[in-house]
Amino acid sequence: MMLMLLLLAAVAQDTASVPRFTAEALGQVDSIASAEFKKDALGSLTIGVVAGPSLVWAKSYGYTDSAHTRAATPQTVYRIASVTKQITAVMLLQLVERKQVQLSDPVEKYFPEIRLVRAPAPASTMPTLVQLATMTSGLARDPADQRKSQSGPPSQWLQILRSALPHTEFANAPGVTYRYSNVGYAILAAALTRAANDDYVSYVRRRILVPLGMTATDFELTPLLRTRLATGVDFDVLYKDTLNYGDAALDNQNGLGIGLGSGGAYSTVGDVAKLVSLQLGFGPDSVVTRQTLSLRDQIPVAGNMTLDYGYGLGVQVWRWADTVATGHSGNLAGYTSMVVYDRQRGFGVIVLRSAAGGEGDAGRLGVRAFRKLLSMLSP
């Protein structure tokens, strides 16, 4: 049974102060990150701390290549996986702000091809934009096409999505329950692209990445990004004690198909910090205003019965006692990521890792570092 919870209150960011972290606090984060990385020393790991509008500290561990000749730095490029969904959510908020869409609009208004999805009943109601954005659309996690739709260049992602829809199904009717759906975010990105009358990548570059100064973020590997990309590695659970570099390499070479708007971005800790600062309410207002962010924070969150996890508009939500944090995790072949931040206190933690599986864990590290910093803030 699922509950729709208002876990997030609107925050008056003008009055929020920017927290200051001592050298001791940042040293504690360094110790936590170093210990997490040493659990398996797979690939590389970069962690950063955001306070208000700035990345105030960042450090990298490990190597970006399989030969262990290039040490990782805060300028290292990673796939950020599902953290990309926060970029697509910003696009939705922008179009709402400009009155090009409404959150309650049915997705078929902009993307009628959704009728190709197998519905649970002939008269099933199609989901709205906000249901796609909050993971309450009822759509299955991915198409049942043996991952064929999850390969292909950014230029062909819409064609690949249309081909995948007959292999996609509604696991339940929209609005009934929380169900994480990558294909749901692909459909959301397609609908927003149509509403904006633009190409998804062109729109995001022009209206989000450039205004935020995210110069090391893209959906394709430019020559510069390629030279700074960390090689992704998986700990292969099928063949114990072996490492797999092939799947991540193929993803980088071939593209993620329909995964463009749900997990396709490359970035660095410094660039993700700019996205986090925007989410915290530190602007610029030319991208998304604080009033619109407050609207986002009033969208009901689909939560579980223990009230410790939920999903809002483009954000995962975690609750520990009286603390509510938001952000997003990510997981792809060879790459894992975690962003966790506190709108009320104005800070966050970013973890980017060029490894999946093994003993280390980006999500666990992000939460531990966040909670340590939280415990060391002045009352």
List pLDDT tens digits, range 288-340. Answer: 999 999 999 999 998 888 889 999 999 999 998 888 899 999 999 999 999 99
Average pLDDT over residues 242-258: 92
pLDDT grade, residue 100 (50/70/90)? very high
Looking at residue 236, what is its pLDDT? 72
Q: Is the pLDDT of residue 257 over 50?
A: yes
Lowest-pLDDT choice from 42-51, 57-66, 288-297: 288-297
Q: What is the pLDDT of residue 363?
A: 97
* Per-residue pLDDT tens digits for 197-220: 999 999 999 999 999 999 999 999
- Mean pLDDT across 141-166: 95
Tell me the average pLDDT of the chain. 92
- Going by pLDDT thresholds of 50, 70 and 90, the confidence category of residue 195 is very high
User: What is the structure's pLDDT at 322?
Assistant: 82
**pLDDT for the residue numbered 239:** 57
The secondary structure of the chain, three-state, reads CCEEECCCCCCCHHHCCCCCCCHHHHHHHHHHHHHHHHCCCCCEEEEEEEECCEEEEEEEEEECCCCCCCECCCCCEEECHHHHHHHHHHHHHHHHHCCCCCCCCEHHHCCHHHHHCECCCCCCCCCEHHHHHCCCCCECCCCCCCCHHHCECHHHHHHHHHHHHHHCEECCCCCCCCCCCHHHHHHHHHHHHHHHCCCHHHHHHHHHHHHHCCCCCECCCCHHHHHHECCCEEEECCCCCEEECHHHHHHHHHCEHHHHHHHCCEECHHHHHHHHHHHHCCCCCCCCCHHHHHHHHCCCEEECCCCCEEECCCCEEEEECCEEEEEEEEEECCEEEEEEEECCCCEEEEEEECEECCCCCHHHHHHHHHHHHHHHCCC
Q: What is the mean pLDDT of residues 87-95?
A: 98
Q: What is the mean pLDDT of residues 73-95?
A: 98
Which domains are seen in the chain, by residue range? 16-84+216-376 (3.40.710.10), 88-201 (3.40.710.10)
Q: Looking at residues 229-233, what average pLDDT do you find?
A: 97
Q: Is the pLDDT of residue 15 over 70?
A: no
Q: What percentage of the chain has pLDDT greater than the value 70?
A: 93
Quick one: pLDDT at residue 121?
A: 64
pLDDT at 276: 98
